[in-house]
Amino acid sequence: MSDTPWQGDAVSLVEAFRRGERSPVEELQATFDAIERSDLNSFCFLDRDTALANAKVADVTLPFGGVPIGVKELDHVAGWPDTDASLVFKDRIAESTDTMLVRARAAGTVLVGQTTSSEFGGVNLTRTMLHGATHNPWQHGRTPGGSSGGSAAAVAGGLVTLATGGDGGGSIRIPAGFTGLVGLKATYGRIPRGPGAPFGNLTTTTGCLSRSVRDTARWFDVCNGHDHNDPLSLPRVDGWEAGLGSVPTRGLRAAVVSDWGSAVVSPSMWTVLEEAAEHLIAIAGLRRVDGVDTSLPRLGAAWSISGMAALAYELREHWPACAELLTPEMRYGLERTDGMYGTEARGKFEMRRVELNRRMAEIFDDVDIIITASNPDVAFNADGPLPDTFGGVVAGAGNNGVLTFPANIYGNPGISIPAGTVDGLPVALQVLSRHFSEPLLLELALAYERSRPWPLVAPR
């Protein structure tokens, strides 16, 4: 037996278990050993005893029977730390387990421990006062993104085949794009949140970071469906994995947009991505439509201010005394937005959201698919700060995340598909479609995966 964790995808690991080629206990031990050797700083908590006990009795006939997975630091498992990746809450313990993880456990997963996240999930950089910087396995010293950066680093770094993620402003798609993974941000409510999760600005969805399209499809097979703890969660949909390869794509209208959300994208990266977009259009039989007005109102400030208002409430008993315990981005955000959220601001934000909803509906009247970038450039420094220049073009730090915000606010699905490298670092297409059309996005990702297979883990 190898002392290296499985370097394929999760589905193939389950198949190896069923053939008797590996055992869940041996796989788990290899995982723990690899985490100990790793310099990625992708895990911040390990539950060795519980994981071992579960691996010993793993039922490999289940969808993920015996598969070790990482759990994003912002997700909740009863008895585990509940820190929000912040020193302020370093001693807090979770009292309940999220519905997604209850379902994942029932499907046979072995929860290894927590993967690092950005503080409160606030930025596309995984570096905190509590745990330090997490590194991109493609190049040490570069970020894996955020907020699901530890999950992305662990999966792309060969430590686990799958890890959970959450996407409130791009936090699945951004790290997937930076690390060469599949990252599906589903329709809002597809996988229930909570119990006890606040709705906030109604942007956050949960899912996974995976090495393959079929792994993501199986994850949604297991985890989707309404739960009464989350009244906005959607009814169950079956057949995600079984339907792969059967969803019609020929003739669908696709817009290829370099400046989605008014973003500035690195010119050299866009050259690679536009060729990848043309390839996807060709293999899927899509019809490219040019000249479509894809302009959108800017909502990054509204997203940030409303998010900071929620954070200010969470920190109400600690702020401003806790200021020096926070990462610079969170501290600045709280100081910058203090007093900005009130009746008038709330009304303006909602009207801006109404306008974005209207524009998104108009765009999806003209096209079926939007193809853009997942990130404005390749991964930046692991310690930050957030970049303000992208491929030599100055656009300001606010340009980070602009490509991903719209789908969070509108609530429609988007997927990040590995599409090559620039300067040795992964780049990715972001493909967006209408609400409830995740099977179509998985189909397009599958077509690309089959025609241009990507590395399942970062090169050593």
Task: Report, as residue numbers or ranges, the catalytic residues.
Answer: 72, 147, 171
At a CB cut-off of 8 Å and minimum separation 6, what does 80 contact?
Answer: 45, 47, 71, 93, 94, 114
Task: Report the C-alpha gap between 392 and 452 in whole angstroms.
Answer: 29
Task: Report the C-alpha gap between 194 and 96 in whole angstroms.
Answer: 9
Residue type at 181 in one-letter notation: L
Strands (E), 121-244: 127-128, 132-133, 162-167, 182-185, 205-210
Residue 352, burial from CB neighbour count under 10 angstroms (0-12, 13-18, 19+): middle
Residue type at 267 in one-letter notation: P
Residues 69, 110 contacting (CB under 8 angstroms): yes
Residue type at 37 in one-letter notation: R
Strands (E), 214-364: 253-256, 287-288
CA nearest to 170, candidates 437, 422, 435, 400: 400
Cα torsion 84, 88, 94, 95 to 10°: value is -130
Taking the CB of residue 435, how many other CB atoms lie within 10 A of it? Answer: 17
Chain Cα centroid distance, residue 361: 24
Task: Report the C-alpha gap between 202 and 302 in whole angstroms.
Answer: 12
CA nearest to 31, candidates 91, 102, 96, 112: 112
Residues 77, 81, 84, CA angle at the centre, nearest 5°?
95
Task: Report the C-alpha gap between 35 and 398 in whole angstroms.
Answer: 34
Coil, helix or strand at residue 309: helix
Taking the CB of residue 67, how many other CB atoms lie within 10 A of it? Answer: 31
- Give the DSSP per-residue string, 244-270: TT-S--TT-EEEE-TTGGG----HHHH
What are the tokens at 289? Answer: 């439509």
Task: Report the C-alpha gap between 57 and 454 in whole angstroms.
Answer: 34
* Placement of tokens 């085949």 in the chain: 161
